[in-house]
Chains A and B, each alone.
Chain A
Amino acid sequence: MTGTKLIKAGRFVEDAFVTLGDDDPQPANGTIVSLARFEKERDALVSRNAPLGVRLKSDESPERLGDDVNRLSVIVLEFPKFRDGRAFSWARMLRTRLGFKGEIRATGHFLYDQLAFMARVGIDAFEVPEGFAIAEFDRAMGEITNVYQPSADGRPTIRQLRADG
């Protein structure tokens, strides 16, 4: 996608994947396809010897990937607008119910103010606008030191910290 860059593990990285349109030919390297294309060309896609990603719209549950979920290297979650919070549950579900260990990438319209929540539910890669500074990312991660509830990040909760005294 033009006009964005990718943050992963807290720093800018080169995107190793190409996001394909539904009719684009498959290049040899890593590609990301829509769920519709994945469902249509599933056998051909998983038999290729290259990393594969699927991009889910906000109304597409990752459960639709079935057992294929752990054949994927990256799952991209779309935020069509920042108020649409479904992807928070999709990420959480990927990390806990489905045990997905690969990259979960956020794309679309989301705010600085949502980055810490996204990281907590298991999103570990972020497509941010060109002008975005890594210092802002660090700041977002550090705004609130401790958390009250468990999530996919495995951080100790305030209750656990209290018990550890």
Chain B
Amino acid sequence: MYRYDEFDARFVAERVEQFRYQVERRLSGELTEDEFKPLRLLNGLYLQLHAYMLRIAVPYGTLSPKQLRMLAHIARKYDKGYGHFTTRQNIQFNWIKLVDVPDTLADLATVEMHAIQTSGNCIRNVTADHFAGAARDEIEDPRILAEIVRQWSSLHPEFTYLPRKFKIAVSGSEHDRAAVKFHDVGIEIIRNDKGETGYRVYAGGGMGRTPYIGHVVGDFVEKRDILAFLEAVMRVYNQSGRRDNIYKARIKILVNALGAEEMRRQVMREFDEIKAAGTLAVPSAELDNIARYFAPPAFEALGDNAPEYDAARASSAAFRAWSDTNLTPHRAPGYAIATISLKPIGGVPGDATHEQLDALADLLDEFGMGELRVSHEQNLVLPHVRKKDLPAIFAKLEALGLATPNAGLVTDIIACPGLDYCDLANARSIPIAQRISERFQDLARQHDIGELKIKISGCINACGHHHAGHIGVLGVDKKGVEYYQLQLGGSGAEDASIGEILGPAFGEHEIVDAVERVVDVYLEQRSGSERFLDTVRRLGIEPFKERAYAGWAFHI
């Protein structure tokens, strides 16, 4: 993984002191809350319903054992003993005191971590495929570019007071696990006819109240030109993005107002000039330097068959169930990618306790694994596991309550913090996720249903990505009562689509039944090995709608 050199270390340390001074000025009253707010957001600090929340960057989702232990320490010392992993591969602490924040950041800096640009109207921390460096279908490790973009965007003098936040994601595989088409800018590493790798750049995707799938603005941007290209996109956006209405300020609104062609024209005008100046060119030596940090570990020469693994599958139904859902083929023979579900039945999606974080650090050390990943689906990933170690690892995870066998299944639900924490929310998300999870807890039934991504947001800002859920649930407020809208047919993968709203919202006590009825329609109507999403696409939403609202008149 990336390691700071003296320059990175000094930069982060100075940023901590800069923020300490901002906090001092706020506490002394020199800064008004109105002035302090954008400053604290630029460093990931929110004021929530009950307390400050600190969002810490986990660059492209990679964590070392030392960093995990530091997160555990922060959970214990400054919070209530747990943290919450988010849909942008970050971790949030929900009970932080303002006066403690500078010290928390100083602690983080000792393990090369920070909260820089995890919020605010700036270029946010860059996300990438959580299977980077391990996936079989990978063209190139996306973290190399993500790190280059991180450096370029850190305290960018021109783009720190943008019209609105700006999120960039990078995918290096054919299968898109980073939801690049739903980002302000999404970058896909591709190979051209000559076998060279370069970047396809999408702009103007996003969720929120006006969901859009990004348009291609760069068909094949050469590697050395990528920062010039990104700077061009940013400059067009900073000049012309709307600033009169917060709900129309994202780049997606600009791209759709201009049209993709005009957007491309404006970007190319800036790009040609920036490229000609040459100062932003990324030399191949730089790419090579950064790539060295992400070189995969030296894989042992193992056969793909591991008797220990086969024996455990034969003897343990629990291990079999877990290995059926939570393992993904690895590029190296004898290795696997293991997903650690943070979605225990009835639990809070994405939460991890300090004991679990410490124990995971120990687990990494014990099995000689250098890193853990955070996925945008609010799970954790062991990217390089020897298959022969899996039974022992599974046993340890089981003891920690981290062996729920549901990756990609109906109970692997994404949910935003919702009204339990967030002052923007209209409705609670977490309890709905918990009730759905309990309803579908039967493992045989979950496996029968197969891949089904449920995503829940507590308000229109869509932090729970409901637009991209195979089933999306959106909390709305009607005269102080929480209601939930159902959407079907969304996808955040390479076949990106926006879910279609089924109809009027359901009450808190109706929504779980409605989800179940929708799933029943799928089970009855699916054809062959079709996924839920495929069935919705084939049939359209009508049959689902009919069943979901069966007896509806009775309710009103």
User: Interface on A for B, CB 8 Å cutoff?
Assistant: 61, 82-86, 88-89, 92-93, 96-97, 111, 113-114, 116-118, 120-121, 143-151, 158-159, 161-162
Contact = CB atoms under 8 A, between A and B. Distances in A.
Nearest to A90: B239
B272 to A, nearest CB: 11
Contacts of A144: 11, 14-15, 18, 155
13 contacts: A82-B161, A84-B161, A85-B163, A92-B158, A111-B35, A111-B39, A120-B158, A143-B14, A144-B18, A144-B155, A145-B14, A149-B227, A150-B279
B273 interface: yes
A96 B277 contact: yes
Given A146-B10, A148-B151, A86 B17 contact: no
B50 interface: no
B301 to A, nearest CB: 35
Contact of B238 (A88, A116, A149): A88
Contact of B157 (A61, A151, A159, A162): A151
B275 to A, nearest CB: 13
Given A114-B161, A116-B157, A150-B279, 18 more contacts: A61-B239, A82-B35, A83-B38, A84-B161, A85-B121, A85-B159, A85-B160, A85-B163, A85-B238, A88-B161, A88-B238, A89-B235, A148-B155, A149-B152, A149-B157, A158-B151, A161-B7, A162-B7
Given A116-B157, A117-B157, A120-B157, A148 B152 contact: yes
A132 to B, nearest CB: 12
Nearest to A146: B7
Given A82-B35, A111-B35, A162-B5, A88 B157 contact: yes
Contacts of A111: 35, 39
Nearest to A158: B7
What range describes how many residues of B lie at the interface? 35 or more
Contacts of B155: 117, 144, 147-148
Contacts of B152: 148-149
B162 interface: yes
Given A83-B38, A88-B157, A162-B5, A148 B239 contact: no
A162 B35 CA distance: 36
Interface of B is mostly: helix
B22 to A, nearest CB: 7
Contacts of B160: 85, 88, 117
A68 B35 CA distance: 36
B515 interface: no
7 nearest interchain CB pairs?
A85-B161, A120-B157, A117-B157, A150-B279, A158-B7, A148-B151, A88-B158
A150 B156 CA distance: 9
Nearest to A153: B157
B243 interface: yes
A111 B161 CA distance: 12
A83 B121 contact: yes
Contacts of A89: 158, 235, 238-239
B157 A83 contact: no
Contacts of A82: 35, 38, 161
Given A158-B7, A158-B11, A84 B243 contact: yes
Given A97-B273, A117-B157, A85 B162 contact: yes
Contact of B161 (A83, A116, A150): A83
A64 B383 CA distance: 53
A63 to B, nearest CB: 10
A108 B419 CA distance: 38
A18 B11 CA distance: 41
B266 interface: no
A136 B142 CA distance: 41
Contacts of B238: 85-86, 88-89
A86 B280 CA distance: 21
A4 to B, nearest CB: 18
B156 A149 contact: yes
B49 to A, nearest CB: 24
B219 interface: no
A143 B39 contact: no
Residue among A61, A151, A159 with max Cβ neighbours from chain B (10 Å): A159
B441 interface: no
A144 B508 CA distance: 50
Contacts of B273: 96-97
Given A82-B161, A149-B152, A151-B157, A113 B39 contact: yes
Nearest to A142: B14
A146 to B, nearest CB: 6
